Amino acid sequence: MAIDLEQGRGGAGAAPPLGDMPVLELKGVSKSFGAVQALTDVDFEVYPGEVVALVGDNGAGKSTLIKCVSGVHTADKGTILIDGKEVRIHTPSDATRLGVETVYQDLALCDNLDVVANMFLGREIAEPAGVGPLGELEMEKRSLDVLDGLHVTTIRSVRQTVASLSGGQRQSVAISRAVMWSAKIVILDEPTAALGVAQTAQVLSLVKRLREQGLGVVVITHNLHTVFEIADRIIVLRLGRRVATFRQRETTPEEVVAAIMGAQRQAA
């Protein structure tokens, strides 16, 4: 690899924040679509209780990398480890079963259903055997518990339709839904795109609480303000390769931008 700043920059400081074993680790992942090499030999790791920002220009391979983890794509080469154990992820439900939850930019909520129905969509409590009447009471209680646990207090009633929520509240619902299913790793795709200032702050503080609860969080974003607000580490992809890793406290937006643009080649 031409440039790998991790060793040089991080040194001893690159020790993981909360444990020795990454909750999610990718080793040498490659993926091509026909003649297009989308990912080349990419390593990636997230530790428990850590927020990693995955940045890069359009076409850098961020989405492809994430889709290899969330089961939308299957990597051509390389291994994926969760809690140190090698796993195979071929479908989105594989990923869910292994504790990887992905919140896509479009959130995938049903506007005409209420908050509870959305949080339990596809996993409703229905006794007996999934064909009996819905356990609305139980679902409502558990939804409230999760929202309260994450301090999502701006939602007035969990029985209002998602259509009536603001952008930030929808994002909060989507994230809360992701973490309520014993997730270990939460992947957020552009969580603050199209949000106002207050809404962004609301979502970012929610992301911080995910970290406090010991989850590994991966955030894809174009917004450097978001990156420096929440990320512990910043991993830069460029043209399908991992070109740089920064500790948020030890770097500047200018350095990150330079890495994204490929100007780091001169600096190195």
Residues forming contacts to another protein in the complex (CB under 8 A) are 92-93, 96, 104, 106-113, 117, 121-124, 126, 130-134, 137, 140-141, 144-146, 148-151, 153, 155-157, 161, 163-164, 166, 179-180, 182, 213-214
Instruction: Write down the least CB distance from residue 66 to another protein, Å.
Output: 14
Q: Tell me how far apart the alpha carbons of residues 255 and 91 are, in angstroms, rounded to a whole number.
A: 37
Sign of CA dihedral 25, 79, 95, 220: positive
Of the pair 193, 258, the CB lying nearest another protein is at 193
Lookup: tokens for 116: 């509870």
Sign of CA dihedral 197, 166, 220, 86: positive
Task: Provide the residue type at 107 as one letter.
Answer: L
Question: Residue 198 burial (CB < 10 Å; 0-12/13-18/19+)?
Answer: exposed
Of the pair 117, 260, the CB lying nearest another protein is at 117
Instruction: Write down the least CB distance from residue 78 to another protein, Å.
Output: 25
Of the pair 109, 259, the CB lying nearest another protein is at 109
Pair 191, 227: CB distance under 8 Å:
no
Phi first, then psi: what are they for 239, rounded to 5°?
50, 45
Instruction: Write down the least CB distance from residue 72 to another protein, Å.
Output: 10
**For the CA atoms of the chain, what is the radius of gyration?**
19
Pair 23, 213: CB distance under 8 Å:
no
Of the pair 2, 137, the CB lying nearest another protein is at 137
DSSP 121: T
Instruction: Write down the least CB distance from residue 11 to another protein, Å.
Output: 33
Of the pair 40, 166, the CB lying nearest another protein is at 166
Of the pair 32, 213, the CB lying nearest another protein is at 213
Instruction: Write down the least CB distance from residue 225 to another protein, Å.
Output: 26
Instruction: Write down the least CB distance from residue 188 to another protein, Å.
Output: 15
